[in-house]
Amino acid sequence: MSEAPVAFPELFSAEKTRTRFSWSDAGRHFDDLGPARADMYGFFRDLVPVMIMAVWWFIQRPITFSNFAGLWQTPQLTLLDLVLLAALAVCWRLIAGSKIASGSNLLRKQLIGNLVAALCCSVLVFADGCTHTSWTTSLLFSAYFLLAASAASTLLLGLTCVIRWAVLTFVVTKREVILVGSGPRAQELFRRLSESPVYTVRGIVDDEFTGTPEMRNLYIGGIDELEQILKNQPVQIVYCSLPVKTMYVRAQRAISICEKIGVEVRHSARLFTTEIAQVDAHASGQGIYAILRMVRHGSRDFVKRAVDLVGASVLIVAALPMIALAAIAIKLTSPGPIIFSQERYGMDRRRFRMYKLRTMVAGAEGLQKNFESLNELAGPVFKIRRDPRVTTVGRFLRSLSIDELPQLWNVIKGDMSLVGPRPLAVRDVRLINDSGHLRRFSMKPGITCLWQIGGRNNTDFETWIRQDLEYIDRWSLFLDFRILLCTIPAVLGRRGAM
Same domain as 159, residue 60: yes
On whether residue 21 sits in a domain, the answer given is no
216 and 166 within one domain: no
Torsion angle defined by CA atoms of residues 143, 148, 153 and 155, in that order, rounded to the nearest 10 degrees? 140
pLDDT tens track for 164-221: 777 766 766 778 899 999 888 888 889 888 877 778 898 999 988 888 888 988 999 8
CATH label of the domain that carries residue 248: 3.40.50.720
Residue 257 domain-assigned (yes or no): yes
Whether residues 339 and 487 fall in one domain: yes
Q: Which residues contact 102 (CB under 8 A, 6 or more apart)?
A: 27, 109
Average pLDDT, the chain: 78
Does residue 182 form part of some domain? yes
pLDDT band at 400 (very low <50, low <70, confident <90, very high): confident
Answer yes or no: are the C-beta atoms of 428 and 382 closer than 8 Å. yes
pLDDT surpassing 60 at residue 366: yes
Q: Is the pLDDT of residue 327 over 90?
A: yes
State how far the alpha carbon of 34 is from the alpha carbons of 30, 161, 288, in Å. Answer: 8, 17, 12
Structural domain for 258, as ranges: 175-293
139 within domain boundaries: yes
Q: Is 65 inside any structural domain?
A: yes
Greater model confidence, 482 or 76 = 482
- Digit-coded pLDDT (tens) for 9-33: 344 444 444 445 555 555 555 555 4
How many Å is the Cα radius of gyration of the chain? 29
What are the strands of the beta sheet with 199-205, ordered from one edge? 219-221, 199-205, 175-180, 237-240, 264-267, 287-293, 278-284
User: Do 414 and 346 share a structural domain?
Assistant: yes
Asked if residue 7 belongs to a domain, the reply is no
Q: Within this chain, do residues 323 and 472 fall inside the same structural domain, yes or no? A: yes
Are residue 468 and residue 446 in the same domain, yes or no?
A: yes
Asked if 333 and 474 sit in the same domain, the reply is yes
42 domain residue, yes or no: yes
Q: How would you classify the pairing of strands 339-345 and 424-425?
A: antiparallel
Same domain, 162 and 205: no
Spatial separation of the C-alpha atoms in residues 126 and 326, rounded to whole Å: 75
Question: Do 420 and 288 belong together in one domain?
Answer: no
**What total of structural domains would you count in the chain?**
3
397 has pLDDT over 50: yes
Residues 54 and 149 in one domain: yes
Question: Which of 16-20, 53-57, 191-195, 392-396 shows the lowest mean pLDDT across its residues?
Answer: 16-20
